Structure 1
Amino acid sequence: MLLALASVATVAAVGLGTSASAVSIQHSALVGQDPVNWTPHALDGTAFKVLQIGSRVYVGGSFTQIRSASSGTVITQRRLFAFNATTGAIDNTFKPVVDGTVRSLVAAPDGQSIYIGGDFTNVNNVRSRSVERISATTGASVSGFTVPDITGGVDELRLTGNRLLLGGRFQAVGGATRRGLAALNATTGAADASVNMNLDGARVTSTGATSGVKVTGMDVTPDGSKLVIMGNFSSVAGQARHQIAVVNLTTSPATLSPWSTTRYQQQCSPSFPTYMRAVDISPDGTWFAAVTTGAKRTGSLCDTAARWDLTSAVAGKQPVWVNYTGGDTLLSVAVAGYAVYVGGHQRWLDNPNGTDSAGPGAVEAEGIGAINPGTGKAFLWNPGKDRGVGTEDIYPTSAGLWIASDTDTVHGEFHGRIAFFPLPAA
């Protein structure tokens, strides 16, 4: 197995100093298939993101109502709430007021506050477009952090050093053109001009479908040296990069890495200008896993999970392995030591010969599945989850694995938008 297994449950989920914020806790075994019964429920909308800091778990999304697992009382709490990580008790002291969907959460270096990103324009009744820093205890806005105008939604946040990296659908930050990718000062919220990669070339399908340039997924190596971005673009810093690129963060300003591939240049579904959905980098920073949507096309990387090498920064990269769903969307991925977990509304993995059907050797993996990081083959691990739009987030902790989605049933049990799979007892 990979060297990642040596770091079982030792990698911090919160980056400090010059480290990045995106390193996943590593497991030495698969998590169980039966979720715990004590997790609270979001009763409408979608849960998009999970974050744990100490004994608190935070969930962001588009929901407006929640309730505990032990009570029928419905609580109105819109788009962001917190609860105890071991009992599921809802935290009634954490009461942020957010007027739009929360899509990303990142812990601040002080351990006392969190950054939120999404589609909101006001937080705690004060204008704050798409990004805010709030108290991890009360949800109150942190004084001294003020963001410039951001002209669109923020879907991804990553913290590295004192830079808060933003990815999303925005086209400008503080009046300066920043299509899909930008940075803020993590202390003050001021625009940071050191990340200006000039993403361009919005893709257009054969039927004319298009959208603005955007970043749909991104991650930073643990040492903060490299940023992997994916989304609707065809060029970065004036050079051809088809839906995926690697940025060198060690230079000031940031520069484009020679790392490139044309494997995502092909069109998938004519409905999707970009079919890139999520990326997660290994804890040693040497490889990453990427997942896509897009409908099956022979020879393409549509509706797949793929592992990519990061050690050599050269052109013409090819995936180390590819796992095919057979035509179903993947939306989320987590490199978690023993397994690469993938989520979406897929029905199968190991399904290169299936087209909206189970081909020979297909492994059932309804809504969430697990892949061997060394071989790229699916584990026989299938908790069974209502598919819906799909699993939006997969978040490993030292105790197990959280998922967030838009559905209510996992393993035949009611779990409103949130579920937790525990690691087996030692």
Structure 2
Amino acid sequence: MTVAAHPVTADLGAVPRTAELRAVASRCADRVERERRLPAEVVEALRTAGFARHLVPARWGGEEGTFSALLGAVAEVGESCASTAWNAAVHAILGRMVSHLPEKGRQEIWGEGPDGLFAGSIAPAGEVRAVDGGHRLSGQWPFASGVDHASWTLLGAMAPGPEYRFFMVPRTHYRVLDTWTNVGLSGTGSNAVALDDVFVPGYLSFAQAELMAGTAAEKATCLRVPFKLVNGLTFVAPVLGAARGALRSSAARLAVKTEITGGAARANPAVHTALARAGAEIDAAQLLLERAAAAADSGTAGALERARAPRDFAFAAELLGAAVDRLFRIGGARSQTTADPVQRAWRDVNCAAGHAVLQFGSVAGVFTTHLMDGVHKDV
């Protein structure tokens, strides 16, 4: 088929587009948190920056971009607003997930362009009945980040069989429930959606097993990566940015702070130790994430990389959490004011680190089993 030309073009490796979104996000950060969702001007800047199309197939007008570029762009935005960065990452990865739909579904989703913003609640929820031509869905699905401005939402559910499947549902077919009141990442608008006996045709559904295996019909490398190689990257990239922003803010304040003793904070060895350790933890996390992104981009990642990536995502989240904890403490009472960027980063990073895919204990066994099995075979 012929795809019409689309006016929005963006290379997420290029600073100007990402810089524009970062500037808007920084200006609106207080409003984002206060309103618990992204305002229209942030949404439009996010769309224009090209996140939605970054992992969309080229034949539908997308970029077929790299995970390395996505990591860098999301982290850059996260330095100013972790909630905006979180939504940017979610919209990008959902474009990659939708590539698993049958051809007719992809045509319906992207036939008018690759810049639609999608939300997702992919953990199994609700109720599903198989009917002629598809399924009927009812119930509630929580934590659909960015759902207020999304045109479609991808929902996970257990279909008869049982079979874990995903269903793409247009905005006109569900209600958004105002449920997101979390203390961190409060501007992500991760509200719930409710469906009442909604019909979803078969061409707007695919099996979770296809996503996990990376068996999309589209041929681009970014679309055929086993999901565990990249899923955690979506949630830890904003955390990397938030931690970097906290380090920058802390250093700027401590450089001019006068301590209760009358001495300069910049002369206090404890300040140097805290900043240096936090900086090292952030750099170490970034190196782990860059390695994981490069492995996904290579198209040749094997069993080791599939076992190691989830471990690295979770460990990076732990490192970043330790860094912002350190910065929060060294900042004293000033870092605890509600308008301070360090306390916001502290809340955002710690809440993000609680995401299921970033729990170290739940991913450690996959890596250690691979390690021990490999050692056993070598003995």
Normalising to structure 2: TM-score of the pair? Answer: 0.30
Q: Which has the higher strand share?
A: 1
Normalising to structure 1: TM-score of the pair? Answer: 0.27
**Structure index of larger Rg:** 2
Q: Which has the higher helix share?
A: 2
Indicate the structure whose relative CO is greater, using CA pairs within 8 Å and at least 6 residues apart: 2
